[in-house]
Structure 1
Amino acid sequence: MTNTAGGGRYVNPDGEFTRDQRYIATRITADGRDGYPVEPGRYRLVVSRACPWANRAMIVRRLLGLEDVLSMAIAGPTHDARSWTFDLDPGGRDPVLGIERLQEAYFARFPGYDRGITVPAIVDIPTGQVVTNDYAQMTLDLSSEWRAYHRPGAPDLYPEALRTEIDEVNEVVFTDVNNGVYRCGFAGSQEAYTKAYHRLFDRLDWLSERLERRRYLVGDTITEADVRLFTTLVRFDAVYHGHFKCNRQKLTEMPVLWAYARDLFQTPGFGDTIDFTHIKRHYYEVHRDINPTGVVPVGPDLSGWLEPHGREALGGRPFGDGTPPPPPRPEEVVPAGHTPLAN
């Protein structure tokens, strides 16, 4: 099994990419029914800015204002076969958990853990043990189980009345887009690649039609569904178009989705989590089976992300009855030069 962003990966005998989705299903809940109650300061969210699945948790944490109660460790953009490392920190060690590799937190709870050492992961600080790496449930729980600690004005990203529709949209977006780009990139046969390619772009066409007359995917405010689609779209031209051969069109050549993605990018809590340097380094340096030289492209030009998008004309209220989050904390600001927002 090869460790990669979002889980281990396999290619079946037909050449089709298969994601290992056996995640640690323990949940951190308000009632603590799994043995891990929501407690301010007890847990640490481990992410990499490179990973789209971790990026979801970063965005949701920002939008909900959970920085004071859930600290965040940022791993470097690359990893080896063992796990993500904290090479961005002084001495290569996370200052709170005191570990050099995320693997140590997994092994602290499950000695000999043989699945993907993935981000995002939430670690119990007192014991140093990983609690969960179930990224899909993680963000839903941040919205629902951590509600007592949301900032004043936090948006409702998973409103009760829209959950069925959000879940339905999330399912097809995950299958055909979030995971679809990986099925293209890691396909082991021409037939598997061609099938994945058409499935991906058919779904992107469907999303373009859905978003042509509505600002957001479900309802008239930002929800979990928008977070999940955004983290794939924002990486599309930088890595998926070339590196994963998702090349019918660039995002910038799909007018509706490009405007939608810019709208979100320019919304506080979204674009200010994006590190294009880390994103490109991860995919092009780690996936040596696809890119043997490890050469990282210089492009694409990022200035277009700040161009007007015109989506306000469709109405909608980004945060509903809430308010935008405050600027990111100084220690969590994406370095200048890694994003157009910091240039």
Structure 2
Amino acid sequence: MEPEMNLDSKSFSPPRRRRFAFTLVELLVVIAIIGVLIALLLPAVQQARESARRMQCTNNLKQIGIGLHNYHDTLGSFPSGYVSYNKYGSISSLPSGDYDATTWDAAPGWGWGKLILPYVEQTNIADALDNRGSVWDATHQAAAQTNVEMFLCPSSAGPTEPLLVVDDSGVALDKGGGSIYLGRSHYVASHGQEECWGDASGPSGGYNGDAGFIADGPFYRNSNTRFRDVIDGLSNSVFCGEHTSRLSDKTWVGVVPGAFVHPRITSPDNGVESAATLVLVHSGPAIGEQDALGNPIIHPPNFPTLHVGQMQSEHTGGANVLLGDGSVRFISEVVNRQQFAAMTSIAEGEVVSHE
């Protein structure tokens, strides 16, 4: 008989399982790795979003180009930059209060954006804006405040609500019906190199208000530019471009006599401009426009002068522009300034490189 064994019960306890857990150091390393991955990923996400916004902006300008060409096909010319006193026949026939005695901007004031509405499937808005009235008529206010998606760049960081029309002091302008609000636009038409929306196109300019004697671009007050007028070539001439509301207010509706556009971003070379810059911009060089050293100013897109009368976008590195042939190009903000100025005039015979 085998002797009885006295076994200690502790020696037969089942082995405990080892429990795994992050140490503090390991946890910090994991958090650091995740942070690095997010830091690497976010720029790519932002770049993808901006690429999509820029594509939408390009499509907007292409739609505007279609509207301009449809207008030309129907009426034989591109729309006026904005319309003044044409229904009265002459400036002397204007009703009192319907014109600006300094610039001769006058009723009805409809801008190029409003004029192409029937040609871009926006007839409902166009019909609500009676051509026999003026931009600022109270009966037009509801339709005039409409935001039209085609005129809004998704990259613009500025306000999108209807803009308040103001005078040179920034006070709301009242044409007898109260404050005037207009639908916003992030796209503007090219007046060319010259600017003539101040005294130069008024009674002191010596041209009886005819801006065509001075303007060298496709759009200006009462312009009626035709294909054959663009002798520099439609594919070489800038017709429209971007202007972010972060810099200043623009509208698709038109011009209100006595209105002024104020910059939201200040620089030593910018200031308020008269009403035409609600719908138009120019590139320079222009008579009377000089920098602090007396040199003529040329301002391509995103130029640091930050003029309310220049093209300005929120896209990195430049801005989209619409050429006369309906194509859209991205213009670098470091483009040769003389080359860009040559692209904004339509009949000065410059040779423009597409390099």
Q: Give the TM-score of the pair, scaled to structure 2.
A: 0.26
> Which protein shows a greater Rg?
2
Q: Give the TM-score of the pair, scaled to structure 1.
A: 0.27
The structure with more helix, counted as a fraction of residues: 1
